[in-house]
Copies of this chain bind each other. A is one copy, B any other.
Amino acid sequence: MPFAETPQPPYYAVIFTNTRREDGGGEQGYAATAARMLELAREQPGFLGIEAVRDPALGITVSYWQSEQAIAGWRRHAEHREAQRSGRRKWYTGFRLRVARVERDYGFDNPDD
């Protein structure tokens, strides 16, 4: 199931959209760091889930959190801060990060599938 299993709203979403350098800026380091950050995020208090897609032009990662405090804690995590610095220096040509409060949600699962 690629969908995050989030609770009843309200909860928080961090919408991270990014573009990568064409040369990758060190592909192996990026993949290893991305995998490590995912592993680490899952261990954080207040982490609810994550949905992520990348195509050649753009990546979108949406992570879900119980509270703004949980997001702030993750942003300040020492190993995550180091990854953020590498991202700016080596991997991303640009990004946008938006913190949003999810007010309502709904879902659909096809009964034929």
Contact = CB atoms under 8 A, between A and B. Distances in A.
14 contacts: A2-B17, A2-B19, A2-B57, A13-B98, A17-B62, A21-B110, A21-B113, A51-B58, A51-B96, A53-B58, A92-B110, A95-B108, A99-B104, A100-B101
B54 A100 contact: no
Q: Is the interface of A mostly helix, strand, loop or mixed?
A: strand
Nearest to A25: B110
Q: How many copies does the complex hold?
A: 2
Interface of A: 2-4, 6, 9, 13, 15, 17, 19, 21, 51-55, 57-60, 62, 68, 88, 92-110, 113
Contact of A51 (B60, B94, B104): B60
